[in-house]
Amino acid sequence: MMDCLYAKCIPYITDCVLGELEKLGQKYKVALKIIKDPRFERISCMHKGTYADDCLVQRVTQASTWIY
């Protein structure tokens, strides 16, 4: 990612995304291995369940209101 952007970047992963990938099983073991890299920052989720789509939409919506 840093090579593509020509900049330092920190990838973030939420707990629910990690949980959803774990539930999907062996088919996604490469993705799990990548996101468990220590260079990825973990973001804790305050909601119940592991449905990642709603969590990510909520986070982006909140972040977009901080910009203005």
Q: What is the pLDDT of residue 66?
A: 62
Q: What angle do CA 34, 37, 42 make, to 5 degrees?
A: 105
> Are the beta carbons of 51 and 22 closer than 8 angstroms?
no
Burial 9-37 (b: 16+ CB within 10 A, else e): eeeebbbbbbebbeeeeeeeeeeeeebee
Tell me the per-residue pLDDT of 44-54, one tens digit each, with 9 for 90 and over.
888 776 688 88
Percent of the chain with pLDDT over 70: 87
Region 23-41: mean pLDDT is 90
pLDDT (average), residues 32-52: 85
Confidence of residue 11 (pLDDT cuts 50, 70, 90): confident
Reply yes or no on whether the pLDDT at 68 is more than 60: no
